[in-house]
Amino acid sequence: MTPQRQAKLLELASFEPSGRFEDNLYRLTCLCGDVMAARRVSLMLLDTGHGQSARLKLAAVYGELPEVAWRDDAPLEESIAQHVLTLGECLHVSDIGHSRWRTLARRLGGTASFIACPILLAGKPAGVLNISEPVERAQFTATDLDIAELCVRLVGRILHAARLDSMLDSRFAQMAFTLEGRADSCSVVSLTAHEPDKVARMLAKAFFKEMRNCGFTPNQIIRAAGEIISELTGSLNRHKHRLDQDRSKP
């Protein structure tokens, strides 16, 4: 490993989350790209939508991805990342074009070596880190796989700590846990790590109860919910703008 990559690995090991959660994801992904000397790294996290089972969705990208990679309508079994998450082990492929994974490749051509590692939060699968396009070498080596496994362990611990710190620092979140009778530290740690969807519902219920207790009318609460959707849309647009800027860089 070069001195530059070693320095980036130390930076990743000492990473301290700050600011918005999505910005931390992007910074982590960029650091992993530098540590792995790779042109492309994508971070996928489990997400649950209304009436849907949990599925992997892109959360942050370093480098450029084909448009098809952003689609989330493909069956779960037709995803290399989903296989990696299910197996719970890192996958190292020297040439996807000559492997059993060829039919699941998003695209073929160029450097076809990649590494995919499951991300664990408190011991349970929560996402996948995909690494491809090695720089100044034809394919990733066994040493690269060892480094990737270290990176993904660090990323998992950083994400866990970031989520937990955010919950513990939020008075609103503390109120939501108290209302649900989950104020003890074990419940907070467990729910934050393993059931973020349940935590989101708890916060929504606490938000509703608090606004009603403050005397807001149903229409005012609906408008407040609309503001949340507006903020989410703005956040997604900023994320897309940043990706477009990255793609336009030489």
What residue segments make up the domains of the chain, in order of their start? 3-162, 166-233
Q: pLDDT grade, residue 187 (50/70/90)?
A: low
What average pLDDT is seen over the chain?
78
More confident residue, 36 or 188: 36
Structure tokens at 60: 């942050």
Tell me what pLDDT residue 177 has: 67
Tell me what pLDDT residue 13 has: 94
CA distance linking residue 7 with residue 244, whole number of Å: 28
Q: What is the mean pLDDT of residues 77-93?
A: 85
Q: Judge whether residue 227 has pLDDT over 90.
A: no
Give the architecture (CATH level 2) of 3-162.
2-Layer Sandwich (3.30)
Tell me what pLDDT residue 71 has: 58
Percent of the chain predicted with pLDDT > 70? 68
| Cβ within 8 Å of residue 134, ≥6 positions away | 36, 37, 38, 39, 111, 113, 140, 144
Q: What is the mean pLDDT of residues 135-164?
A: 91
Q: pLDDT grade, residue 151 (50/70/90)?
A: very high
Contact criterion met (CB below 8 Å) for 15 and 31: yes
Residue with tokens 């990559």: 5
Q: Judge whether residue 238 has pLDDT over 50.
A: yes
**In degrees to the nearest 10, what's the CA dihedral of 29, 30, 31, 34?**
120
CA distance linking residue 191 with residue 199, whole number of Å: 7
Q: pLDDT grade, residue 219 (50/70/90)?
A: confident
Q: Judge whether residue 28 has pLDDT over 70.
A: yes
Q: pLDDT grade, residue 205 (50/70/90)?
A: confident
Q: Which residues pair with 115 in a beta bridge?
A: 92, 131
Q: Say what the pTM is.
A: 0.70
Nearest to 29 by CA among 105, 123, 127, 138: 127
Q: What is the mean pLDDT of residues 230-245?
A: 69
More confident residue, 48 or 232: 232
Q: pLDDT grade, residue 209 (50/70/90)?
A: confident
CA distance linking residue 33 with residue 39, whole number of Å: 7
Contact criterion met (CB below 8 Å) for 43 and 60: yes
Tell me what pLDDT residue 32 has: 96
Taking CB atoms within 8 Å and a gap of at least 24, the contacts of 179-185 are: 179/205, 179/206, 179/209, 180/205
CB atoms within 10 A of CB 82: 18
